[in-house]
Amino acid sequence: MAAMSASSPCDPEPGDLIEVFRPLYQHWALYLGDGYVINVVPEDEGPTSILGSAASVFSNRARVKIQLLKDVVGSNTYRVNNKYDNTCTPLPVHVIIQRAQSFVNKEVSYNVLDSNCEHFVTMLRYGEAVSNQATRAIGAIGFVTVAAGAFSLLGLLHSRSRDRHY
């Protein structure tokens, strides 16, 4: 799957998952047709603001919006990425679109780890919320936490062994 810029778009079909490559993460939207997508935007995030994107990590509320794909992508690149089709069965397109339309302009819970933009669009397409991006982040946080604990324990043991020598 090749990544495209807004000026050289690929041809998404209604119900497709759109992966937008932002500087620090991927943003996800669902293609509705006629150039429009539906996506969740944290309340404090502008259309494609890098600072807003970083601030979205701390947001806990988002607004569901229908926007032009080109506006969501901005100067970034994107691709159609229905990567979960191998493990999840997509709902019929008319059901996906109907589900999506029921959320327009609603405020929803937002959490980077368990209720993010990828969770939202996969819930629309498959009926279940999935996010490998969040799973990887949780794994990284767990690894850092374990590593920090191990280093703290080693430091404590090292300082106790030094204390005995004096």
Instruction: Give residue-wise pLDDT tens across range 108-135.
Output: 999 876 789 999 999 999 999 988 764 4
The pTM assigned to this predicted structure is 0.71
Catalytic residue among 117, 119, 158, 165: 117
Cα–Cα distances in angstroms (integers) from residue 128 to residues 7, 49, 61, 89, in the given order = 32, 29, 20, 10
Residue 10 falls in the annotated catalytic set: no
Catalytic residue among 10, 27, 94, 165: 27
CA distance 100 to 148: 42
158 Cβ neighbours under 8 A, 6+ residues apart? none
Task: For strands 61-68 and 17-21, give the pairing.
Answer: unpaired
Confidence band for 15, pLDDT divided at 50, 70 and 90: very high
Comparison of pLDDT for 2 and 95, the residue scoring more: 95
Residue 165 known to be catalytic: no
